[in-house]
Structure 1
Amino acid sequence: MRLSILTLCLAAALAAGCSRESTPAPGTAAPSADQQATVNATAETDEQSYAEPDKVRTKDLALELKVDFDAKTLSGSATYTLDWLDPNATELVLDSRAITVDKVVGERADGKWDDLKFSFAPADELLGSKLTIEAPQRNPRIRVSYTTSPDASGLQWLTPAMTEGKKGPFMFSQSQQIHARSWVPLQDTPRVRFTYTAHVTAPKDAMVLMSADNDPKAARDGDYSFTMPQPIPSYLLAIAAGDLVFQPITDKAGVWAEPAMAPKAAAEFADTGRMIDTAERLYGPYRWGRYDILVLPPSFPYGGMENPRLTFATPTVITGDKTLVSLIAHELAHSWSGNLVTFSSSKDAWLNEGFTSYVENRIIEDLFGKEQADMESVISRNELAVEFKDAKPETTVLALKPETIRNPDDSLTSQQYTKGAWFLQFLEQRFGRDVFDPFLKGYFDHFSFQSIPTAKFVDYLKTNLIEKHPGKVTMQEVEQWVYEPGIPDFAPKTVSPRFEAVDTARKAWLDNGTLPDKALTSKWITQEWVHFIEGMPETLKPEQLAALDAAYHFTGTPNGEIAQRWYPLAVRSGYHQADAAISAFLQKIGRRKLIMPTYNALAKTPEGLKLAEETFAKAKPGYHPITTGSVESVIAKAKQGPAK
Structure 2
Amino acid sequence: MTDPASSANFDEITIQNLALKWLVDFDVKKIGGSAELTVVAKVNDVSQLILDSSNLSITKVTVDGSEAKFAVEPHAVQALGSKLTIALPVTNKLATRKVLIEYSTSENATALQWMAKEQTADRAQPYLFSQCQAIHARSIVPCMDTPSVKHPYQAEVSVPEKVVALMSAVAVGEATPSADRNGYHVYKFEQKVPIASYLIAIVVGRLTKRDLSKRCAVWAEPSVIEKAAYEFIKTEDMLQAGEQLLGPYVWGRYDILLLPPSFPYGGMENPCLTFVTPTLIAGDRSLTDVIAHEIAHSWTGNLVSNGNWQHMWLNEGFTVFVERKIVGRLHGEEMRQFDAQCGWEDRLLPTIFEVFNPTHEFTKLIQNQTGIDPDDAFSGIPYEKGSAFLMYLEQQLGGPEVFEAFLLNYVNKFAYESILTDQWKTYLFDYFGAQKSVLEGIDFDAWLNNPGVPPNKPTFNDALMKVCIEVCKQWVDADENSVKDIEAANFLRLLPAQKTKVLDCLRLESNIFDYKVERMEELYHLNSVGNSERLFSWIRLAIRARWAPILDVALKFVTDQGRMKFVRPIYKDLVAWDVAASRAKETFIANRPFMHPITATMVAKDLGL
The TM tier, using the shorter chain, reads over 0.9
Q: Secondary structure at the match of 1:569?
A: helix
Q: Deviations over 1:206-230 (max 9, x none)?
A: 1101000036976897310000111
Measure the CA separation in 1 of the matches of 2:199 and 2:371: 22
Aligned partners of 1:349 and 1:411 also within 8 Å:
no
Shift of 1:576: 2.1
Task: State the TM-score, normalizing by the size of structure 1.
Answer: 0.88
Which amino acid letter does the alignment assign opposite residue 304 of structure 2? V
Q: Deviations over 1:592-616 (max 9, x none)?
A: 1012221001111343121112211
Q: Secondary structure at the match of 2:438?
A: coil
Which amino acid letter does the alignment assign opposite residue 350 of structure 2? V
Q: How does 1:54-453 map to 2 (within 5 A)?
A: 54-107=11-64, 113-123=65-75, 124-136=77-89, 138=91, 140-214=97-171, 222-382=185-345, 383-389=347-353, 390-392=357-359, 394-400=361-367, 404-430=370-396, 431-453=398-420
Which amino acid letter does the alignment assign opposite residue 200 of structure 1? V
Aligned partners of 2:335 and 2:464 also within 8 Å:
no
* Counterpart for residue 632 of structure 1: 604
Shift of 1:568: 2.5
Q: Secondary structure at the match of 2:412?
A: helix
Shift of 1:473: 2.9
Shift of 1:97: 0.5
Measure the CA separation in 1 of the matches of 2:483 and 2:57: 63
Measure the CA separation in 2 of the matches of 1:88 and 1:131: 19
Farther-moved stretch of structure 1 (628-637 vs 185-194): 628-637
Task: State the TM-score, normalizing by the size of structure 2.
Answer: 0.92
Measure the CA separation in 2 of the matches of 1:231 and 1:396: 31
Q: Deviations over 1:544-581 (max 9, x none)?
A: 22211111111133322122222233233332222222
Shift of 1:419: 1.2
Aligned partners of 2:172 and 2:188 also within 8 Å:
no
Q: Secondary structure at the match of 1:513?
A: helix
Shift of 1:516: 5.0
Q: Deviations over 1:325-359 (max 9, x none)?
A: 11000000000000000010001100000000000
Aligned partners of 2:5 and 2:370 also within 8 Å:
no
Measure the CA separation in 1 of the matches of 2:454 and 2:54: 41
Farther-moved stretch of structure 1 (475-484 vs 129-138): 475-484
Aligned partners of 1:538 and 1:569 also within 8 Å:
no
Which amino acid letter does the alignment assign opposite residue 73 of structure 2? A
Measure the CA separation in 1 of the matches of 2:420 and 2:586: 44
Say which of 565, 579, 600 aligns to 2:551: 579
* Counterpart for residue 435 of structure 2: 469
Which amino acid letter does the alignment assign opposite residue 402 of structure 2? V
Aligned partners of 1:257 and 1:295 also within 8 Å:
yes
Measure the CA separation in 1 of the matches of 2:556 and 2:400: 46
Aligned partners of 2:112 and 2:128 also within 8 Å:
yes
Q: 1:619 to 1:559 in 2, by over 3 A?
A: farther
Aligned partners of 1:330 and 1:360 also within 8 Å:
yes
Shift of 1:314: 0.5
Measure the CA separation in 2 of the matches of 1:514 and 1:470: 59
Aligned partners of 2:199 and 2:270 also within 8 Å:
yes
* Counterpart for residue 587 of structure 2: 615
Shift of 1:538: 4.9
Measure the CA separation in 2 of the matches of 1:354 and 1:509: 34
Q: 1:571 to 1:517 in 2, by over 3 A?
A: closer
Shift of 1:244: 0.8
Aligned partners of 1:207 and 1:222 also within 8 Å:
no
Q: Deviations over 1:260-318 (max 9, x none)?
A: 22221121111111111111111111111111111111100011111111111111011
Q: Secondary structure at the match of 2:301?
A: coil
Which amino acid letter does the alignment assign opposite residue 66 of structure 2? D
* Counterpart for residue 22 of structure 1: none
Shift of 1:153: 0.4
Aligned partners of 2:30 and 2:106 also within 8 Å:
yes
Farther-moved stretch of structure 1 (182-191 vs 134-143): 134-143
Measure the CA separation in 2 of the matches of 1:52 and 1:599: 40
Measure the CA separation in 2 of the matches of 1:539 and 1:556: 24
Aligned partners of 1:51 and 1:93 also within 8 Å:
yes
Q: Deviations over 1:146-195 (max 9, x none)?
A: 01011100111111111111111110111000000001011111111111
Q: 1:387 to 1:61 in 2, by over 3 A?
A: same
Q: Secondary structure at the match of 1:473?
A: helix
Q: 1:214 to 1:468 in 2, by over 3 A?
A: farther
Shift of 1:488: 4.4
Measure the CA separation in 2 of the matches of 1:272 and 1:215: 23
Structure 1 residues not aligned, in runs of 5+: 1-43, 108-112, 638-644
Aligned partners of 2:313 and 2:386 also within 8 Å:
yes
Q: Secondary structure at the match of 1:81?
A: strand
Which amino acid letter does the alignment assign opposite residue 84 of structure 2? L
Q: Deviations over 1:368-406 (max 9, x none)?
A: 1223222221221112112222332543321236x8443
Shift of 1:635: 2.1
* Counterpart for residue 493 of structure 2: 523
